Amino acid sequence: MPGLSEDARAKVNLTLRVLGRRADGYHDLVSLVAFADCADRLTLEPGSDASLAINGPGGNDCGAVSDNLVLKAARLLAERVPGLQLGAFTLDKRLPVAAGIGGGSADAAAALRLLARLNALAPDDPRIMDAARATGADVPVCVASRSAIMTGIGEQLSPVCAPRMACVMVNPRVPVATAEGFSALGLRKGEILTGVVDVVRSRKWPAEDSPVEEWLKALAHAANDLEAPAIKIQPVIGEVLSGLRDLAGVRLARMSGSGATCFALFDTEAEAAAAGQALQASHPQWWVHAGTLN
């Protein structure tokens, strides 16, 4: 069988509310997620054992290959599917690392999709999602890579029909560890933020086929609770957000996930493209992508 390939699309947290911290130390959250048109690329050559080679502009930032989530996901699926055929993965790493856009999780999800195709597993085979949950909290939503509401620690998914939205994504090329961002919230084990819970439960997102304008209005009344802690950890995030909010035509600017990637939404793709070019020209050291979310 010839090599197979999959895109590992960037995940963007349009909203992220932290509801509290569970007794086991994990944080309960609610997050509206969409996926961007920028991605890593993962290929698989069938073979007897799992291996991984990493290249691309972000390859040197990925750390030890043995710790990569692609291999972890492959191993966990093999534990659940007797006789699973594996092979040699090659990752073209283009998304920034430790950036709040689920790059590693998207790569792991792409590995699961590739192995499912190679082994003729049905896309809804429960063993795929079981392996995804065991790999990491963001991996399940990346398996389908479609807009959804994530709850629990991120493993509980409710699909939504978010519209296509023009955007600019920016990463100042500084990493932010997810655990560090949550730790900065300072929540005790078992602490529940009752006020936030009430607000989140009462929130209603626009219905399917609602115009983009309704979504923009709804998003303006939401938030990312990790944004303020992340700015304290990496103050340059505040500079990125300020730069995005100063762009012509911007409708909303916010941080994604635990950072440091931030995004801005626009009415048209032409406005987003022009804004991205202006921002890249003024900050050539930043990673900038102009495109769409959906």
Active site (catalytic) residues: 11, 138
The maximal CA–CA distance of the chain, rounded, in angstroms, is: 55
User: Beta strand pairing status for 51-55 and 17-21?
Assistant: unpaired
C-beta neighbour count of 189 within 10 angstroms? 11
What is the distance between the alpha carbons of residues 288 and 173, in angstroms, rounded to a whole number?
10
What is the distance between the alpha carbons of residues 260 and 10, in angstroms, rounded to a whole number?
14
What is the distance between the alpha carbons of residues 142 and 104, in angstroms, rounded to a whole number?
10
Which alpha helices (DSSP H) does 103-226 contain, by range? 103-118, 126-135, 139-144, 178-183, 194-202, 212-220
Q: Which residues contact 91 (CB under 8 A, 6 or more apart)?
A: 40, 41, 42, 52, 53, 54, 55, 56, 59, 62, 68, 70, 107
What is the distance between the alpha carbons of residues 137 and 93, in angstroms, rounded to a whole number?
21
Token pair belonging to 257: 């996930």
What is the distance between the alpha carbons of residues 102 and 9, in angstroms, rounded to a whole number?
9
What is the distance between the alpha carbons of residues 34 and 11, in angstroms, rounded to a whole number?
6
Pick from 148, 167, 150, 149: nearest CA to 252: 167
